[in-house]
C-alpha cells in the first residue's frame, strides 16, 4: 500500500446495495462517489411492487433511502455514468468516470415535467419493462433521485445527419404526428428557408438513409415538409423568424438570389446584419426561378418563400449585373463589410460537334429560362433532347408542354446509369417521352434552310472507365440517324464569367469560382463564394447548406473570429433494431393525371392532405429517440435543457471501491416453448411487478395485457432461466423466485375484485429465509394459492387470449388447464455491462459470471481494495444484499480508518437567531412552479391573499421557489425583513421540505420555523380543469399553513458525546468478527463470552460450503482477537446490567467463575451475537443407535474415520428434522447444503455406496445448486417425502434398522436397511431470554432476534444503537454470518465514528405531571421506546424516538405531545380551514 | 396392487450403468430433478401407466427386471420432445433405444422385425423387399409412361447409377411398390431445378427399420450400404426424399457409426427452398388465390427437432407459403422444434400397438383440427401415414399430402394421375397444358 491513503470510496451501482453501502460510509466519515448508469438511483428494487415477506410497498421502503442518498452532503452522485478505467492500488486508486450527457442541467431542473409534456416522441418505458411508453424527455420514475429529468438520445437520426442542411427531420415528423404543424414548420425553418420549394424539388438524400428502408420503404420525408409549407400557404401568412439579435451596423452584399444567396441572407438577417441582394434577372430565385419548370415548382410558392427574407429586412435589387452595374470596388465603397458571390450556373455546356450553332439547335438552360420568362420558345414538332440528367428531363417535359408532338431523349448512359433520378425518369415516361440510351451525337444533319433536320448518333459502348471517371468510348461502326426539327442540348451547365475575371476574382481549374471548401472564403478575404458557381451543379438543399456556412463565415469574418474553429462536425448516427418492426406502406402522393398535364404548366404533385401526412409521419421509427425538435427548450422556463451537452470524463481519487452493479432479469425469449415473445399474456415476473404496481402501466389495476380484461386464472412457472443446463446456461438457483412468486400470488389476489385462481408450478419450493416458510404456508392454506410440483413443458396459446398448460402431477396424472396469464419467474442473470466492468476493474468472476468471492472473505473481490456486494456477487434477496452492502462498507473502510473524516464536508451554519419574545413575522413565498401551479391557479391572487393574513409581513411569488437563485433571494429576504417564520406554498413537502428547511437554517432561522402548503400535487395537478376552484383551494391551504406557522416554535436538538467503543456479546465467529472489525476501525471492543472458549459452532465445522478449511481461519481469528490491543475479551462472563441510549451505554459485566467485582464498560453501540446450536432430535430413534446421527455427529465421526461411516452400504439423509414443523415453522437453511456435501463425501469414499437424501424440497439456493448437481451426478438419489407421510425408521430385535419411504413418482414404497442415517436437524437459537430482556430486544416465537426491518435494516434493532449478527438472528452459513458481522461493524461505526450525536427535534415529549402510568405508550410504540422505571412516569428518550406520533395520539391523559405537531398547532390549522381568520393571541 | 421396492446394499443398476457408459456425458441420466417436464409434454405419458419420468426413475432404482421387455419402449417414438425442454438435457430417447435392446431380437415387434429382415435380403435395403431389378423396371416403366403420355416431358430423366451426379437421391420403397406414379412429380421437380441427380442401384431405398428395431448392427449395415453407394458414384449430396426417419438414420448413422464420407446429408426441403429462392422452381400460389384452401404443415421430429432444427422448419414454411399462399398456411400450435410427434415414428406404425398409437396421435389430431385446415403437408412418410390414419380413425375430413405434390401442383406440372392424395376440389386445378410445356430449358 502506498503511504498516501484517500478517505473516499467509489461505489458502483445505485441499487439498494450501492445505496446502503454509500450511506454507511458517508455516515461514518468517508466521502462517497456513487456511480449509476441510469439517470436515477434505485435499481430493480424501485421497480418492485411489494416486498416479501412483509408485503411492504417497495417504493415506500426505499424512498427515504433515495432521498437520504440523493441529498447527502458526502455522497457525490454520478448518474448516467460508467467507470472507464482504474489504476493504482488499495488505499489510493485513480478512477476515470465517463459521464453521458443528460441534456438537462441537474442544477437548473426543477422537475416540473413541462419538457415531457411537450415532447412528441414516445419510446418504450424501460422502467415499466416496456409495458407502456414514455417520452424521450423523461424522469425514470416519479420518486427517482436525483429528481431532474433527462433526455434519451441515440445519436442523431440518420435523416438529419444526412440532410446537407441538417434539418431536424425526425423532429418535424414527430410534431406532424402530434398535429403541431406550426411548431414543425418553425423547426424546419430554423435550418432551412424553403420548406415548400425543397418539398417539391429536393433530391432527398435523407430518404436514402431512412431506417425504414430496412423494413419496407423510406418515409416520404420531402412530402412531409411540403405538407407543412402547404399548411402555411393555406393559412395565408408566412412564418417569418423573429430577429432576436441586436441590429448591427455592418452590411453584407450578396450577388445572386438563388438558394445559396437567399439562405445566406436569411441567416445573416437573423444575426442582425443588413443584407442587400443583387440579382441580374428581373425576378429573384436564380435557378429555382429560371431553371426549374413551373409544373414542378409553382411561382407563387417560390415568391412566397423569398418574400420572407424581404419581410425580414433584406433588400433585393433585380436587374443589376455584377461586373457591369456593380463591382467589388463599388460595393466596398458603398460600405459593404463582406460580399457573397452566389452567381449560379446559367450557361449551357456545348457538345463540341460541328455545326452546333445552326438554327434549331438550342441550349437546355436557355430554353428553360425562356420558358420560365413566359416566352414561347421556338420549337418544332419533333424534338430531340440530348442529355440524361434531371435538367434534360425537365427540358423534354417542358418541350412537350410547349406542344412538341414527339420528344425523344437521347443519352450516352444506359438506363441504369442515367444520372436523372428514377422518379423523374418515370415521370418522363408517363409524359410520353421516348428515351433512347447508349448513344452519343456524331454529327448534325442540315436541311436546305440551314436548319437542323436531325443528328447521327454513334453507339456508346462505355461511359465510365475502370476508375469510375466519365470517359465515354464509342463504336463508330454502329451509328443511327434520328430526324427532327429541333435539338435541345442539355448535357451540363457552366458559369458565365463575364465581368468576373476582370475584377481579379480567382477562377478554379474546372471554370468555377475559387474558394476554401470549408469557409468558402475567396483569396480576397472579404469576398466569399458558394453555390453551383463554386462546386458545380447540385441540388437546392446543397445550396441551402452552403448558404448557411457562408453566413457563419461572414459573421466570423466581420467579428474577427477564427473562420475554421469547430466547423467540421461529424454527423454519425446509430440505427435502431428493426427486427420486430411492423410493415406499413408508404402513403402515396396523388398527382395530376398524365393526360391533364399536356400543354399546361399546372403543378403535377398534389402533396399530402392532413390525414395522409399524419399517417405517413406515423411510420417514423424515431431513430434518434429524441427527435431534436427542441420543443422542450422553449417549454423549460428554468432554461435547464441543453441539447449540446457532451460526454465528460472525470478523474477521481478513492481509497477503496465497492462494486454493486446488480443483476439483470433473465430474458426468456429463447425459451420458445413458453411463448413469451409471441404472446402478450405471457409476462416475466418483473413485468408482473410493474403490472401490480400502483405507479405501473395500469395503476395497479390487474388486467391481461392482450385485452385489458381482469384475469380469472394466473399461472407462475418457476425456474425460468435458473437450474437449467439445456436452454440456458444458468445452472444455478436464483434464490429469490420462489418467494417472490408466492408474494405475487398473494398480492395479485389482493388486487383482484373477483376470486382469482393462482397456481405456481415449481420443482423445489425454496423459501429458506426468515419467516419465508410461514409466508408460504399462509399463502397456501389461507389464500388458497395452488403450489403444483411440476415443470410445465410448454405454454400453448389457445383461443381468446387464453394459455393452455398441460402438466403431469407428481403421481403421473396428466392435467390440462387454461390460464388468462402466465408469469415466468425469471432468474437473475449477470449484467453484461458488469462483466465488462469486472474486466476493467481487473477482478475475477466465477464460472457463472458473477463476482468471485470466498466464504471466509465474503465481500472481498480478487483485487485488493475492491469489494463486492448485492446480486453482483450471486443471486440473493434484498436483506442479504443490504447486509452485504454494509459488510462491504466495513471492509472498504477498514484500511482507510487513518484518514476517516479527511475528505468529508460539513456545512458551516450561522448561529441561530434568537426569536424568543418576538411576535410572529411571517413571510409567504408562493411558487408558480413554471406553469404547473401558475398555469392553473391565479398565483398573484394567492400571493395578495396571503398578504391579508395575520402576521404576514412579506409576500412574493417566484417562477421556481426551489431554484438556486430564489433560494439565495429567500435568505436575503429573511435577513432584510426580519421574518421569523417562513411559509412556502408550492409542490410537496415529500420532496422539498428538507431543502427549504436547509435554506432558512442557512439564513439563521431554526429549521422548524417553517411550514409548507401543498398547492401543486394536491391542488393544481388534480384540479387542472378548475382554475377558480384551484385558486380558492390554494388560498385555503395557505391560510392553514400560515395559521399553523403562527404557533411553530424553534426546536433544538442537543448533542450527546459518543463513547467510541462497542460491546459485543457472544464469542463465536460472529462476535469475534464484530469485535475485531470495530477495533480495526480504531474503537475499543468489549467481547463478552459466557463460556470458556472462543469460536462457537465453528469449532465443529470442517469446511465451508465451497470447501474452505474452517480451522485455520478460526485459529487466526482467535489469535487476532486475543492479540488486538483494542479488543478486550471477557471470558466466562455475562452481561449483568445495562443502561443508556444510543452512543452512550453503560454495561456491567460479571464473571461466572470468579468472585470478582463487576466490570463496568461505557460503549456507544451494542452488538448481540449470541449464536445458536444444533437441535438434538427426538425423532427417528436418535440417540438409540450409533448409526443414527446428526450432521455435527456425522462430521465428528467422519473426522475420526468411523468405520460405521466408511463401511456403510446404504446411507440415508433425512432432511427437515425439527425444521418446517408446526411448532418450528422455519427452514434451517443450512441443512440441505450440509447433507449435499456429506453425501458427496460418502460417494467419494465409496462410489458404490447407495446414498439417499429424503427431503421435502432440496434447498440448495444460489450456487449451492452446483453441489446438488454434483451429488446427483455421483449417483446420490433424492426422494421427496410428504410431511404428512414421513419416512419410517424402525429397528428390529437384532438392532437392524429398517427404513420405509414412499416414492411419490412411482407411488410405491421403498424399503431398505440403512447402515447409516444422518438427521439434518434444525438450528435453534441459544437460550438467552434474560439477556434479551435486559437489552429490551424482541425475539420471535422460535426465539430468534427480530430485526428493525426485515428488508432494509437486517442487522439493526428498532432500539437505536443495538445490532445483531450470526445465528441468533436466523440460521445461516458461515459466509453469511461473517458478512452479517461485518455489516454490524459498519452499522455500529455510523455511530462510533461520530464525536457526538444530535437528538431531539420532532420527537414525543412527556408532560410528567399528566402521566397516569397506564402503559398505553409502551404498548403502542412500534419501536419500543417509552419505558416506565423508577422515575414514576413514562420516559421517551429523544435519541430513540422516531417521531411517528402514535403515542401522542393514543395517550389517554394527553400527557404526550409530538413536537412540531402539537395540538395547538394542529387545531390552529383546522380552525383556519373552517373559519375566517381572526388575529390569534400569541 | 402396487409392489414395494426393496433396495439392497449390493444390488446394482446394471442397465443404468451400461447406458451411462455408452452415452456422451452419461446422457445426463443421473441428473434427473424429477421435475416432470418430460412427462408433461409427452404424448405417450399414461400409456402402460408409464411416462418418461417414471421410466428414468425405475432405471435409477435399478428396477432392471421391470424395465426389461416393457412394452412402453415401443410406444415411445423417441421423438425427443422430452429432451428438448428437459432442464438437465437428459437423453431420454437414447435411454428408450437401449430399453428396446433389452428385448431379445426375436421377441421385438414383428412388424418392425420383418421390415428390418426384409431390407437385409438384398442390396436395395428396401423394407418392402424390392430387388434392384424390380426397382429399375418400375422406374423405367413409370418414366416411359410419363414421357409418352405427358406432353413436354419427353426428355424427363430418372437415372440410376449415374456417375458423378451431384445428388444421390434415396427413394422410400413404398412408392415403387404401392404408388409408383407418386415418383414422377419429384422427378419433374428435380428436372425443372436442373439438378444433376441419380438413384443408386444399391441402397436406393430410403428407410431403415433396423434402427427402429434397435438393431444397431444392421442399422449400420444399411446406412453404410447406401452411403458407400453414393460415395462410389462420386455424388456430393445425399438427398433424402421427404422421409424423416430415413434422413435421420443416415445422418445420425453416419455420425454414430463413423461411416467415412464427405457427403452432405441433407433433407429435401432445404433444396426445395433453395431452388425456389434461386428462381429455378418458379412456383406461385395463384392457383389458390381464389380457392383459399387452407393448409397446415407437420414438422417431422426427425427432420426438425432431432436434427436440423428450427432453421429447417423455417425453410419448410418458406416453401409452403410460396406454393399455397402465405394467408392459406396455418401453423399448428405448438410447432417447429416444439411440435408434437404424430405418433407415426419409431416404428409405431409397424409394431402392432394400434390402439396405443391412436391414443398417442390424439394430440396431433386435435392440433390439426384446431387449425381447421383441409390439408396437412407432411414431408415425411411416417407422418404422412399416421396422420392419414388419424383422420380416418376420427372420421375427420383433413387430407394428407407430400410437399412434392403441392409444389408440382403450383408449378402446373401435376398430372391427373398424380393426384391421388388430393380431394375432388383439386383434381382439375392447375392441370398441365395439353400439348406443350413452357419451361426454361
**Cβ-based contacts of A1310 with chain B (< 8 Å):** 4-7, 61
User: Cell match 401526412: residue?
Assistant: A613
The Cα A587–Cα A1455 span in angstroms is 77
Q: To the nearest whole number, what is the mean pLDDT of chain B?
A: 95
Instruction: Identify the CA nearest to A531 among candidates A287, A205, A275, A367.
Output: A287
> Nearest CA of chain B to the CA of A1030: how many Å?
57
Q: Do B7 and A1307 touch (CB under 8 A)?
A: no
Q: How many inter-chain contacts (A to B, CB under 8 Å) are there?
A: 131
B36 touches chain A (CB under 8 A): yes
Q: How far apart are CA A51 and CA A746, in angstroms?
A: 11
* pLDDT recorded at residue A841: 95
Interstrand relation of A803-808 and A795-797 (parallel, antiparallel or unpaired): antiparallel
Give the burial string for B382-402 (b: 16+ CB within 10 Å, else e).
bbbbbbbbbbeebeeebbbbb
pLDDT of residue A3: 57
Q: How many residues does chain A have?
A: 1482
- Average pLDDT for residues A736-757, to the nearest whole number? 95
Q: In this structure, what DSSP letter does residue A286 have? A: T
Q: Counting Cβ atoms within 10 Å, is residue A321 exposed (0-12), middle (13-18) or buried (19+)?
A: middle
What residues in B contact A1278, CB-CB < 8 Å?
A: 34
Of A814, A1248, A1278, the CB nearest to B45: A814
CA distance A549 to A515: 13
Main-chain dihedrals φ then ψ at residue A1340, nearest 5 degrees: -90, -175
Q: A721, A791, A807, A1266: which to substitute to probe chain B, counting the most B Cβ within 10 Å?
A: A791
Give the mean model confidence (pLDDT) for residues A948-961. Answer: 93
For residue A2, what pLDDT is reported? 45
Q: Which of A469-473, A1047-1051, A1111-1115 has the lowest mean pLDDT?
A: A469-473
Compute how many other C-beta atoms are within 10 angstroms of the C-beta atom of residue A1057: 12
| Residue A1304, pLDDT score | 96
pLDDT at A476 over 90: no
| pLDDT given for residue B60 in this prediction | 95
- Residue A1237 above 90 pLDDT? yes
Which residues of A fall within a CB distance of 8 Å from B61? Answer: 1277, 1303, 1306, 1310
> Which residues of chain B from 41 to 70 reach within 8 Å of chain A, CB to CB?
41, 45-46, 49, 51, 53-54, 57-58, 60-61
Instruction: Count CB neighbours of A429 within 10 A.
Output: 14
Nearest to A723 among B36, B57, B87 (CB): B87
Higher-pLDDT residue of A1481 and B404 is: B404
Q: Which of B9, B36, B49 sits opposite A807 (nearest CB)?
A: B36
Residues B81-125 pLDDT 10s: 999 999 999 999 999 999 999 999 999 999 999 999 999 999 999
Contacts of A1007 (CB under 8 A, 6+ apart): A997, A998, A1000, A1001
Indicate the range of A82-91, A457-466, A1281-1290 predicted with least confidence: A457-466
In A1203-1311, where does DSSP find H-type helix? 1203-1206, 1231-1245, 1265-1273
CB–CB of A173/A222 below 8 Å? no
Task: Tell me the average pLDDT across A1406-1412.
Answer: 93
Give the Cα separation of B98 and B22 in Å (integer): 10
| Per-residue confidence band for A1480, with pLDDT thresholds at 50, 70 and 90 | very low
Q: Specify the range with the lowest mean pLDDT, choosing from A231-240, A661-670, B420-429.
A: A231-240
Report the first-to-last Cα separation within chain A, whole angstroms. 64
Residue from A1283, A1253, A1246 nearest A1268 by CA: A1253
Contact state of B2 with A1308 under an 8 Å Cβ cutoff: yes
Contact B5 A1277 (CB under 8 A): no
- Strand ranges across the sheet with A81-89: A81-89, A92-99, A648-654
* Conformational region of residue A911, where left means phi above 0, alpha means psi within -120 to 50, and beta covers everything else: beta
Amino acid at each position: 500500500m502506498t503511504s498516501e491513503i484517500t478517505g473516499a470510496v467509489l461505489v458502483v451501482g445505485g441499487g439498494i446495495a450501492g445505496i446502503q453501502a454509500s450511506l454507511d460510509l458517508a455516515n461514518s466519515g468517508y466521502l462517497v462517489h456513487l456511480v449509476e448508469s441510469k439517470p436515477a438511483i434505485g435499481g430493480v428494487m424501485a421497480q418492485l411492487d411489494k416486498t416479501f415477506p412483509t408485503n411492504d410497498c417497495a417504493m415506500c421502503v426505499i424512498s427515504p433511502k433515495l432521498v437520504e442518498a440523493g441529498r447527502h452532503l458526502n455522497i457525490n452522485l454520478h448518474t448516467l455514468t460508467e467507470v472507464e478505467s482504474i489504476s493504482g492500488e488499495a488505499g489510493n486508486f485513480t478512477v476515470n468516470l465517463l459521464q453521458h450527457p443528460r441534456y438537462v442541467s441537474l442544477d437548473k431542473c426543477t422537475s416540473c415535467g413541462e419538457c415531457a409534456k411537450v415532447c412528441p416522441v414516445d419510446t418504450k418505458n424501460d422502467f415499466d419493462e416496456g409495458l407502456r411508453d414514455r417520452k424521450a424527455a423523461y424522469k425514470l420514475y416519479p420518486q427517482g433521485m436525483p429528481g431532474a429529468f433527462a433526455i434519451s438520445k441515440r445519436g442523431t437520426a440518420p435523416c438529419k445527419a444526412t440532410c446537407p442542411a441538417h434539418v431536424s427531420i425526425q423532429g418535424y415528423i414527430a410534431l406532424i404526428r402530434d398535429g403541431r404543424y406550426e411548431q414543425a414548420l418553425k423547426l424546419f425553418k430554423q435550418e432551412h428557408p424553403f420548406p415548400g420549394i425543397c418539398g417539391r424539388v429536393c433530391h432527398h438524400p435523407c430518404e436514402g438513409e431512412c431506417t425504414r428502408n430496412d423494413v419496407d420503404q423510406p418515409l416520404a420525408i420531402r412530402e412531409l415538409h411540403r405538407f407543412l409549407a402547404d399548411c402555411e400557404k393555406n393559412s395565408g401568412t408566412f412564418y417569418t423568424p423573429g430577429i432576436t439579435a441586436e441590429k448591427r451596423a455592418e452590411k453584407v452584399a450578396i450577388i445572386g438570389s438563388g438558394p445559396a444567396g437567399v439562405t445566406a441572407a436569411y441567416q445573416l438577417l437573423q444575426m442582425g446584419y443588413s443584407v442587400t441582394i443583387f440579382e441580374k434577372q428581373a425576378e429573384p430565385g436564380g435557378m429555382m426561378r429560371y431553371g426549374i419548370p413551373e409544373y414542378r415548382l409553382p411561382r407563387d410558392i417560390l415568391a412566397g418563400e423569398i418574400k420572407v427574407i424581404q419581410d425580414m429586412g433584406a433588400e433585393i435589387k433585380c436587374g443589376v449585373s455584377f461586373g457591369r452595374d456593380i463591382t467589388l470596388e463599388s460595393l466596398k465603397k458603398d460600405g459593404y463589410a463582406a460580399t457573397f458571390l452566389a452567381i449560379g450556373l446559367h450557361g449551357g455546356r456545348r457538345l463540341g460537334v460541328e455545326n452546333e450553332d445552326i438554327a434549331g439547335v438550342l441550349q437546355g438552360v436557355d430554353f428553360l429560362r425562356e420558358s420560365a420568362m413566359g416566352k414561347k420558345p421556338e420549337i418544332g414538332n419533333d424534338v430531340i433532347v440530348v442529355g440524361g440528367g434531371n435538367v434534360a428531363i425537365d427540358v423534354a417535359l417542358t418541350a412537350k408542354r410547349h406542344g412538341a408532338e414527339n420528344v425523344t431523349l437521347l443519352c450516352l448512359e444506359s438506363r441504369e446509369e442515367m444520372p436523372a433520378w428514377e422518379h423523374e425518369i418515370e415521370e418522363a415516361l408517363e409524359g410520353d417521352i421516348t428515351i433512347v440510351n447508349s448513344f452519343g451525337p456524331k454529327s448534325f444533319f442540315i436541311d436546305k434552310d440551314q436548319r437542323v433536320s436531325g443528328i447521327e448518333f454513334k453507339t456508346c459502348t462505355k461511359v465510365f472507365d475502370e476508375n469510375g471517371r466519365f470517359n465515354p468510348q464509342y463504336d463508330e461502326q454502329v451509328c443511327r440517324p434520328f430526324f427532327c426539327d429541333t435539338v435541345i442540348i442539355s448535357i451540363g451547365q457552366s458559369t458565365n464569367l463575364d465581368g468576373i475575371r476582370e475584377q481579379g476574382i480567382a477562377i478554379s481549374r474546372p471554370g468555377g469560382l475559387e474558394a476554401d471548401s470549408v469557409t468558402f472564403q475567396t483569396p480576397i478575404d472579404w469576398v466569399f463564394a458558394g453555390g453551383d458557381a463554386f462546386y458545380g451543379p447540385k441540388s437546392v438543399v446543397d445550396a441551402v447548406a452552403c448558404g448557411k456556412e457562408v453566413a457563419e463565415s461572414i459573421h466570423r469574418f466581420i467579428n474577427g473570429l477564427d473562420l475554421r474553429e469547430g466547423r467540421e462536425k461529424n454527423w454519425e448516427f446509430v440505427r435502431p433494431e428493426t427486427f420486430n418492426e411492423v410493415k406499413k406502406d408508404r402513403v402515396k402522393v396523388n398527382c395530376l393525371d398524365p393526360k391533364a398535364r399536356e400543354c399546361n404548366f399546372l403543378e403535377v404533385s398534389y402533396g399530402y392532405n392532413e390525414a395522409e401526412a399524419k399517417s405517413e409521419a406515423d411510420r417514423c421509427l424515431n431513430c434518434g429517440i429524441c427527435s431534436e425538435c427542441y420543443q422542450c427548450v422553449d417549454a423549460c422556463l428554468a432554461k435547464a435543457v441543453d441539447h449540446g451537452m457532451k460526454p465528460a470524463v472525470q478523474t477521481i481519487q478513492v481509497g477503496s471501491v465497492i462494486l454493486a452493479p446488480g443483476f439483470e432479469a433473465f430474458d426468456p425469449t429463447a425459451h420458445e416453448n413458453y411463448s413469451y415473445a409471441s404472446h402478450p399474456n405471457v409476462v416475466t415476473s418483473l413485468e408482473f411487478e410493474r403490472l401490480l404496481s400502483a405507479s405501473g402501466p395500469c395503476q395497479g389495476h390487474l388486467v391481461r395485457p392482450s385485452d385489458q380484461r381482469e384475469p380469472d386464472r394466473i399461472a407462475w412457472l418457476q425456474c425460468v432461466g435458473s437450474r437449467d443446463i439445456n436452454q440456458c446456461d444458468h445452472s444455478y438457483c436464483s434464490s429469490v423466485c420462489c418467494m417472490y412468486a408466492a408474494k405475487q400470488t398473494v398480492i395479485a389476489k389482493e388486487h383482484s375484485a373477483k376470486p382469482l385462481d393462482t397456481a405456481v408450478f415449481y420443482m423445489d419450493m425454496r423459501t429458506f429465509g426468515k419467516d419465508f416458510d410461514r409466508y408460504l404456508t399462509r399463502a397456501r392454506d389461507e389464500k388458497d394459492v395452488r403450489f403444483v410440483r411440476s415443470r410445465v413443458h410448454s405454454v400453448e396459446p389457445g383461443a381468446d387470449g387464453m394459455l393452455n398448460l398441460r402438466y403431469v402431477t407428481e403421481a403421473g396424472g396428466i392435467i390440462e388447464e387454461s390460464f388468462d396469464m402466465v408469469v415466468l419467474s425469471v432468474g437473475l442473470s449477470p449484467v453484461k455491462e458488469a462483466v465488462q466492468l469486472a474486466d476493467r476493474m481487473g477482478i475475477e468472476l466465477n464460472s457463472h459470471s458473477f463476482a468471485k468471492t470466498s466464504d471466509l472473505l465474503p465481500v472481498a473481490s480478487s483485487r485488493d481494495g475492491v469489494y463486492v456486494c448485492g446480486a453482483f456477487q450471486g443471486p440473493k434477496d434484498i436483506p442479504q444484499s443490504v447486509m452485504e452492502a454494509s459488510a462491504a462498507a466495513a471492509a472498504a473502510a477498514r484500511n482507510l480508518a487513518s484518514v476517516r473524516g479527511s475528505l468529508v464536508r460539513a456545512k458551516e451554519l450561522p448561529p441561530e437567531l434568537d426569536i424568543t419574545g418576538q411576535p410572529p413575522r411571517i413571510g409567504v413565498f408562493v411558487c408558480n412552479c413554471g406553469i404547473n401551479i401558475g398555469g392553473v391557479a391565479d398565483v398573484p391572487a394567492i400571493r395578495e391573499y396571503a398578504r391579508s393574513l395575520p402576521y404576514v409581513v412579506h409576500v412574493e411569488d417566484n417562477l421556481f421557489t426551489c431554484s438556486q437563485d430564489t433560494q439565495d433571494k429567500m435568505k436575503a429576504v429573511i435577513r432584510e425583513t426580519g421574518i421569523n417564520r417562513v411559509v412556502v406554498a408550492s409542490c410537496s413537502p415529500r420532496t422539498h421540505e428538507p431543502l427549504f428547511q436547509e435554506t432558512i437554517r442557512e439564513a439563521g432561522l431554526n429549521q422548524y420555523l417553517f411550514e409548507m402548503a401543498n398547492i401543486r400535487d394536491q391542488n393544481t395537478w388534480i384540479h387542472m380543469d378548475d382554475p377558480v376552484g384551484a385558486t380558492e383551494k390554494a388560498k385555503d391551504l395557505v391560510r392553514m399553513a400560515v395559521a399553523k406557522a403562527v404557533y411553530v416554535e424553534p426546536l433544538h436538538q442537543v448533542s450527546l458525546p459518543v463513547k467510541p467503543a462497542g460491546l459485543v456479546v457472544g464469542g463465536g465467529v460472529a462476535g469475534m468478527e464484530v469485535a475485531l472489525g470495530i477495533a480495526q476501525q480504531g474503537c475499543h471492543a468489549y467481547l463478552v463470552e459466557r463460556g470458556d472458549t472462543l469460536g462457537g459452532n465453528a469449532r465443529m465445522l470442517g469446511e465451508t460450503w465451497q470447501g474452505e478449511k474452517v480451522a485455520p481461519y478460526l485459529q487466526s481469528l482467535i489469535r487476532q482477537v486475543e492479540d488486538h490491543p483494542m479488543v478486550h475479551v471477557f471470558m466466562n462472563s455475562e452481561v449483568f446490567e445495562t443502561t443508556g441510549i444510543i452512543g452512550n451505554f453503560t454495561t456491567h459485566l460479571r464473571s461466572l467463575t470468579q468472585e470478582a467485582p463487576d466490570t463496568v464498560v461505557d460503549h456507544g453501540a451494542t452488538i448481540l451475537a449470541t449464536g445458536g446450536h444444533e437441535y438434538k432430535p427426538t425423532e427417528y430413534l436418535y440417540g438409540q443407535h450409533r448409526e443414527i446421527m446428526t450432521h455435527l455427529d456425522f462430521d465428528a465421526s467422519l473426522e475420526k474415520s468411523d468405520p460405521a461411516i466408511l463401511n456403510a452400504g446404504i446411507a440415508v439423509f433425512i432432511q427437515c428434522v425439527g425444521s418446517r414443523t408446526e411448532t418450528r415453522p422455519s427452514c434451517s437453511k443450512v441443512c440441505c447444503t450440509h447433507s449435499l456435501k456429506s453425501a458427496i463425501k460418502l460417494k467419494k469414499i465409496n462410489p458404490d455406496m447407495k446414498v439417499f437424501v429424503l427431503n421435502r424440497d432440496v434447498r440448495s439456493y444460489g450456487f449451492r445448486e452446483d453441489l446438488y448437481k454434483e451429488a446427483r451426478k455421483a449417483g446420490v438419489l433424492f426422494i421427496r417425502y410428504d410431511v404428512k407421510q414421513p419416512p419410517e425408521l424402525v429397528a428390529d430385535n437384532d438392532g437392524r434398522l429398517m427404513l420405509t419411504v414412499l416414492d411419490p413418482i412411482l407411488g410405491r414404497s421403498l424399503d431398505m436397511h440403512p447402515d447409516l442415517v444422518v438427521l439434518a436437524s434444525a438450528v435453534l437459537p441459544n437460550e438467552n431470554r434474560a439477556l434479551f430482556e435486559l437489552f429490551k430486544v424482541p425475539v420471535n416465537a422460535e426465539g430468534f432476534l427480530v430485526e428493525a426491518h426485515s428488508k432494509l435494516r437486517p442487522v439493526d434493532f428498532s432500539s437505536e444503537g443495538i445490532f445483531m449478527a450470526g445465528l441468533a438472528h436466523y440460521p445461516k452459513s458461515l459466509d453469511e454470518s461473517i458478512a452479517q458481522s461485518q455489516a454490524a461493524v459498519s452499522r455500529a461505526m455510523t455511530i462510533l465514528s461520530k464525536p457526538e450525536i444530535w437528538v431531539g427535534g420532532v420527537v414525543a415529549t412527556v408532560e410528567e405531571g399528566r402521566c397516569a402510568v397506564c402503559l398505553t405508550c409502551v404498548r403502542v410504540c412500534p419501536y419500543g421506546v417509552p419505558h416506565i422505571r423508577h422515575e414514576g412516569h413514562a420516559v421517551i428518550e429523544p435519541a430513540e424516538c422516531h417521531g411517528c406520533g402514535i403515542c401522542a395520539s393514543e395517550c389517554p391523559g394527553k400527557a404526550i405531545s409530538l413536537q412540531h405537531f402539537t395540538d395547538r398547532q394542529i387545531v390552529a390549522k383546522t380552525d383556519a380551514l373552517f373559519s375566517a381568520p381572526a388575529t390569534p393571541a400569541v | 396392487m402396487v409392489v414395494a421396492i426393496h433396495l439392497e446394499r449390493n444390488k446394482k443398476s446394471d442397465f443404468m450403468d451400461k447406458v451411462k457408459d455408452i452415452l456422451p456425458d452419461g446422457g445426463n441420466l443421473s441428473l434427473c430433478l424429477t421435475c416432470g417436464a418430460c412427462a408433461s409434454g409427452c404424448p405417450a405419458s399414461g400409456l402402460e401407466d408409464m411416462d418418461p419420468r417414471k421410466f428414468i426413475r425405475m432405471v435409477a432404482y435399478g428396477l432392471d427386471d421391470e424395465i426389461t421387455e416393457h412394452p412402453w419402449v415401443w410406444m415411445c417414438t423417441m421423438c425427443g420432445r422430452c429432451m428438448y425442454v428437459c432442464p438437465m438435457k437428459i437423453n431420454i430417447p437414447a435411454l428408450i433405444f437401449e430399453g428396446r435392446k433389452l428385448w431379445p431380437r426375436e421377441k421385438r415387434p414383428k412388424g418392425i422385425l420383418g421390415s428390418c429382415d426384409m431390407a437385409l435380403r438384398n442390396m436395395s435395403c428396401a423394407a418392402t423387399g424390392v430387388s434392384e431389378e424390380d426397382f429399375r423396371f418400375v422406374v423405367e416403366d413409370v418414366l416411359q409412361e410419363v414421357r409418352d403420355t405427358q406432353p413436354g416431358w419427353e426428355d424427363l430423366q430418372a437415372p440410376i447409377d449415374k456417375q458423378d451426379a451431384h445428388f444421390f437421391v434415396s427413394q422410400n420403397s413404398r412408392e415403387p411398390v404401392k404408388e409408383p406414379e407418386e415418383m414422377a412429380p419429384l422427378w419433374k421437380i428435380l428436372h425443372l431445378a436442373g439438378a444433376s441427380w441419380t438413384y443408386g442401384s444399391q441402397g436406393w431405398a430410403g428407410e431403415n427399420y433396423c434402427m427402429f428395431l434397435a438393431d444397431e448392427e444392421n442399422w449400420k449395415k444399411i446406412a453404410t450400404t447406401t452411403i458407400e453407394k453414393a460415395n462410389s458414384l462420386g455424388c456430393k449430396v445425399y438427398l433424402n426424399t421427404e422421409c424423416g426417419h430415413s434422413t435421420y438414420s443416415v445422418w445420425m448413422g453416419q455420425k454414430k457409426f463413423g461411416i467415412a464420407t464427405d457427403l452432405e446429408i441433407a433433407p429435401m426441403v432445404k433444396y426445395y427452398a433453395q431452388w425456389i429462392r434461386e428462381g429455378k422452381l418458379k412456383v406461385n400460389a395463384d392457383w389458390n388465390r381464389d380457392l383459399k384452401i387452407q393448409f397446415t404443415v407437420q414438422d417431422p421430429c426427425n427432420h426438425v427437432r432431432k436434427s436440423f432444427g428450427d432453421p429447417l422448419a423455417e425453410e419448410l414454411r418458406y416453401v409452403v407459403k410460396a406454393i399455397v399462399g402465405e394467408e392459406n398456411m396455418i401453423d399448428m400450435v405448438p410447432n417447429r422444434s416444439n411440435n408434437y410427434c404424430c405418433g407415426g415414428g419409431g416404428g409405431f406404425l409397424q409394431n402392432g400397438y394400434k390402439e396405443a398409437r391412436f391414443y398417442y396421435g390424439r394430440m396431433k389430431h386435435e392440433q390439426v383440427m384446431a387449425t381447421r385446415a383441409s390439408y396437412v403437408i407432411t414431408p415425411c412418410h411416417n407422418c404422412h401415414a399416421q396422420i392419414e390414419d388419424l383422420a380416418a380413425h376420427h372420421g375427420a375430413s383433413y387430407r394428407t399430402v407430400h410437399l412434392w405434390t403441392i409444389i408440382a401442383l403450383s408449378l402446373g406440372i401435376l398430372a391427373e394421375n398424380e393426384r391421388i392424395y388430393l380431394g375432388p376440389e383439386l383434381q382439375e386445378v392447375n392441370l398441365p397444358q395439353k400439348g406443350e410445356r413452357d419451361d426454361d430449358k
